[in-house]
Structure 1
Amino acid sequence: MLRAGAGALLGGAAAGCAFVPENRAHHLEFLFWGSIYEDRGVHAVSRAFSRRPGRLPVAAQVVGGDYATKINTLVAARQEPDIAYLPAGLAMRLGEGGLLVNLLDYRHKYPQIDDLLPQALHYYTETAAVPQTAVEVMMLWYSTRLFSKAGVPEPPVDTASAWSWDRYLETCDRLTFDEKGRRPSEKGFDPTQVRQFGATAPTTVNTTLYALLRSNGADLFDEKGTRCIIDSDAAVEVVSQIVEMMYEHRVAPSPTLLTSMNTGTALLLKSGRVATTIDGYWNLLDLANAQFPYGAGVLPKFQEPMTAQTSGITGIFKRSQYPEQAVEFYLQMADPRSCPLYKQGLWMPLERSFYTDPKLLATWTDTKIHPAGFDRSTAQPALHNVSPDPTFRIRNSSEVFAQLTPALDPIWLGKHRGTASVRKALRHAADVTTPFLAGVYPDVKM
């Protein structure tokens, strides 16, 4: 359900669907967020699109600050752009409120739409959906130099050979050293003077943590989206193991220490402070620019190999004068042959054929920056071993995660150790989150 304020905004905006924003007669306005690299990629596609016969110029603009507030303000003023990046929860609310184009209405004209991965298309009603901007999956990034220096075998690239969580911890122990070169499992190890950690703790609720929860058959919410179930036995096991990773095995820094040393995945690995980290595909762009040897493996597992997929939405607003051109622009952005952001390592494709057709797969993975075995370590799990980010499925998701995420902080900070204490803390997190749950959207149709 919508909060009263958001509901009033959507209702008022939907009532004026005949209104057309001023000064929009001769171009498409596209709002997005992103780094300087993303800005360059978007503008490259915008220029190419505008040069096509009969196509409008695209006025693409990066928006800084509170992006969601900016979009809500434009919608309230009936001045929204033709097309824009949208956070997951906001996109689902705007779609259900009647403000976004249903991409499926154009599938008869653009066959690419039927080739979209099912987990990249999010249904806000049973028959209407919005598409992701790109595909992003979680993967195990690592420094090949640190593995070689420690004489440790590198992570597997096939899901069939995925390490168990215990094997991952053992490997991380061999990759963790204090200032005198001692490992955590060795006598005299000094946890206050760690020179190199084997890993970072995967605690991001809707992505890195979620992948491991799903690997163990656990979930954050029940099927109807009315109860938080992060206190299930399977979830308690995963969370307890992550806590032990930091405070018992001592192979990963605490959140406090990580904050003091964190300069992003690429620099953490390049600097040698960390040997492995579970993080998103988008880091490949920064890794490539950091100029050091890195690799990518499949995630460790509890029961079944699993990764998590996330992304923002690219939404087309119904009040656009040129919705069909906006759809065409979106599809050009989604084509790795047209958009440089795929080869550069920021995005993974949305269309299934770019994973299953060897020639199309090569258009975005056969590069100098994609690690060896990438098609198996990342592309194949994106097809067969993936759970979609739950922020699309859960109604009121921004408010829900605003309760759940901080409720887990005391656990990650080491205030709850041991299964019984972690279980109690997770039960509290579930109790404070459940009142904010309001059901689910149809979402992904796998």
Structure 2
Amino acid sequence: MTTFSRRKALALAGAVALATGLAAATPVLAQDCEKVDLTFTFWGSVNEKNDIENAVKNWNTNNPCIQVKPMHIPATGTNYVQKLTTMIASNTAPDIGYLGENQAFQWATEGKILDLSPYMGETPDQQYIKSTIYKAGDTLMGTGLATGVMLIYYNKDVFDAAGVPYPPAKADEAWTWQQFVDNAKLLTKDRSGKNATDPAFDPNAIDTFGVTLPSWWGGWYPYVMSNGGQFANEDGTALTLNSPEAVEALQGFQDLIYVDHVMPNPTQTSSLPTGDVLMQSRKVAMSMDGMWRVTDFAKLGINWGVGVLPKWKTAETVVLSVPKVIFSQTKHPKEAYEFYKYISDPAQVGLFKSGLWAPHEKAYFTEPDLLKTWVQAEGSAYPPEAMDAIVDYTLNHAPQQAPVYQLKNIGQIMSEAVEPNIQQIMNNKATAQDAMDKAVATAQPMMQGRW
């Protein structure tokens, strides 16, 4: 359906119908139809669990003939995949579910994921934000749940007390990496109240850290991109994380902990609560995380905001999504697809307004009426700066697809080559150069090209 048709549908019917067939909240089958039961598996925080369960409850109320059972499975370690593996092996696979990229591509090639080409037809990729359409060979797995970019969250009260300006919301005003480090030092305080620029500062007695950044690839890869680095070469046959550009960015990441003393080390992190709770207790000033954490920060009752990431050379972020799949074991593919459409519809599902998800179609980032279904909706969880730090940032400053959406065998490459050596960097066991040289050598036999 065209962009004009979407606007017309919204104006006349109070709902949005997209090319992928976003569902209305009215029953999709007649009231006297045979009842169908479906299972939808997902992971997430307590807030995400509540939001998903409310969305499913809304569906079940309006679709009595297609009842969906939400099944929350914690994503700690390999728990989620192990649970689904067991369900598939016992022929009790869920009908619809979240699925990590690594597993999704593998299972799609093994026939465990339903090919949605008959339902979605020729998918117009240009309609979608990068990294939200999933294809493994000839199998169209479908779309992601939504989109999300990596951001900096911050406690405005901590910034005000330190006299530090807030992280910019506009990408063209992004802090340089050095400005970021300098400000993080001013925000880092030891137990005697001295900041990290003071010669008498005690790095072994830090009371407030300037920043927390995640150690998974979403935490460091945006800075590699910002510095002109790449994950792999053009044809996907070699890892390139040992390039000067990538190494410089990764060394800067390590230095935040061991040179600048503005970020907790992995041992400290393992004993600390999540970034939002640390910010609430004023134990951290800034926390880098995904856009989906808006729903958590909005419920803290603190004076918070969001800004764009600091830059090395160019202001860049990475767009993330999670595959939303229908499992090939489903006995009700048509009905499963109806719910599949519904759960990613901003006009129907409160998960978008609550700040958990951003839409995956570009029209929702450009058309005024569609912006009002999520980021500018009445009662939305987004702070005012979100139009710059999320909407513009997503559209205009995320030029690359993330590596997990491009490379074959990415699961093994990550788990056996990249992640162990990133941990060496984070634990100060190796320089970024040495760790990435090892990662590149280890990954070489695993490189199989791009999808």
TM-score norm. by structure 1 comes to: 0.85
Q: Show the counterpart of 1:305.
A: 315
Q: Decide whether the 8 Å contact of 2:408 with 2:448 is kept in 1.
A: yes
User: Is residue 2:351 matched to residue 1:337?
Assistant: no
User: Is residue 2:85 matched to residue 1:72?
Assistant: yes
Alpha-carbon distance, 1:368 to partner: 5.5
Q: Decide whether the 8 Å contact of 1:208 with 1:308 is kept in 2.
A: no
| SS class of match (1:29) | strand
Change (3 A) 1:138 1:129: same
Q: Show the counterpart of 1:407.
A: 421
| SS class of match (2:324) | strand
Q: Decide whether the 8 Å contact of 1:130 with 1:313 is kept in 2.
A: yes
Could you list the per-position Cα deviations for residues 363-386 of structure 1 after superposition, in whole angstroms to 9, with x for gaps in the alignment?
212346312211110122112222
| SS class of match (1:105) | helix
Q: Decide whether the 8 Å contact of 1:25 with 1:321 is kept in 2.
A: no
Describe how 1:6-45 pairs up with structure 2 within 5 A.
Answer: 26-45=36-55
| SS class of match (1:365) | coil
User: Is residue 2:235 matched to residue 1:220?
Assistant: no
User: Is residue 2:174 matched to residue 1:199?
Assistant: no
User: Is residue 2:258 matched to residue 1:247?
Assistant: yes
Measure, in 1, the Cα distance between the counterparts of 2:224 and 2:131: 18
Q: Decide whether the 8 Å contact of 1:202 with 1:242 is kept in 2.
A: no
Change (3 A) 1:291 1:325: same
- The code of the aligned residue for 1:414 comes to N
Root mean square deviation of aligned Cα: 2.5
User: Is residue 2:154 matched to residue 1:142?
Assistant: yes
Q: Show the counterpart of 2:107.
A: 94
| SS class of match (1:325) | helix
Q: Decide whether the 8 Å contact of 2:133 with 2:143 is kept in 1.
A: yes
- The code of the aligned residue for 1:412 comes to M
User: Is residue 2:243 matched to residue 1:229?
Assistant: no
Q: Show the counterpart of 2:31.
A: none
Q: Show the counterpart of 1:121.
A: 133
Q: Show the counterpart of 1:315.
A: 325
Unaligned runs of 5+ in 2: 1-33
Alpha-carbon distance, 1:161 to partner: 0.9
Measure, in 2, the Cα distance between the counterparts of 1:383 and 1:105: 29
Change (3 A) 1:143 1:428: same
| SS class of match (1:61) | strand
Alpha-carbon distance, 1:230 to partner: 1.2
Q: Show the counterpart of 1:6.
A: none
Change (3 A) 1:186 1:45: closer
Measure, in 2, the Cα distance between the counterparts of 1:318 and 1:156: 45
Measure, in 2, the Cα distance between the counterparts of 1:116 and 1:393: 16
Unaligned runs of 5+ in 1: 1-23, 442-446
Measure, in 1, the Cα distance between the counterparts of 2:98 and 2:158: 38
Q: Decide whether the 8 Å contact of 1:112 with 1:331 is kept in 2.
A: no
- The code of the aligned residue for 1:285 comes to T
User: Is residue 2:119 matched to residue 1:106?
Assistant: yes
Measure, in 2, the Cα distance between the counterparts of 1:64 and 1:237: 35
Measure, in 1, the Cα distance between the counterparts of 2:99 and 2:340: 13
Could you list the per-position Cα deviations for residues 175-210 of structure 1 after superposition, in whole angstroms to 9, with x for gaps in the alignment?
1222222222222111111222211245322x1211
2:171 to 146, 149, 159: 159
Measure, in 1, the Cα distance between the counterparts of 2:320 and 2:312: 21
Measure, in 1, the Cα distance between the counterparts of 2:149 and 2:136: 22
Alpha-carbon distance, 1:94 to partner: 2.1
Could you list the per-position Cα deviations for residues 17-55 of structure 1 after superposition, in whole angstroms to 9, with x for gaps in the alignment?
xxxxxxx97222222223343333333333333444684
Deviates more, 1:48-57 or 1:129-138: 48-57
2:67 to 48, 52, 57: 57
Alpha-carbon distance, 1:273 to partner: 1.4
Describe how 1:331-370 pairs up with structure 2 within 5 A.
Answer: 331-366=341-376, 367=379, 369-370=381-382
| SS class of match (1:359) | helix
TM-score norm. by structure 2 comes to: 0.84
Change (3 A) 1:42 1:183: closer
Alpha-carbon distance, 1:343 to partner: 1.7
Number of residue pairs aligned between Structure 1 and Structure 2:
411
* % identity of equivalent residues: 28
Change (3 A) 1:218 1:117: same
| SS class of match (1:370) | coil
| SS class of match (2:373) | helix
Q: Decide whether the 8 Å contact of 2:125 with 2:133 is kept in 1.
A: no
- The code of the aligned residue for 1:440 comes to R
Could you list the per-position Cα deviations for residues 58-111 of structure 1 after superposition, in whole angstroms to 9, with x for gaps in the alignment?
2222234722122223333333222121111111122223332333432359x9
Deviates more, 1:318-327 or 1:346-355: 318-327
Q: Decide whether the 8 Å contact of 1:49 with 1:55 is kept in 2.
A: no
Change (3 A) 1:36 1:179: closer
Measure, in 2, the Cα distance between the counterparts of 1:52 and 1:273: 44
User: Is residue 2:393 matched to residue 1:381?
Assistant: yes
Measure, in 2, the Cα distance between the counterparts of 1:189 and 1:40: 43
Q: Show the counterpart of 1:286.
A: 296
| SS class of match (2:212) | coil
Alpha-carbon distance, 1:129 to partner: 4.0
Alpha-carbon distance, 1:402 to partner: 1.2
Change (3 A) 1:436 1:196: same
Change (3 A) 1:115 1:105: farther
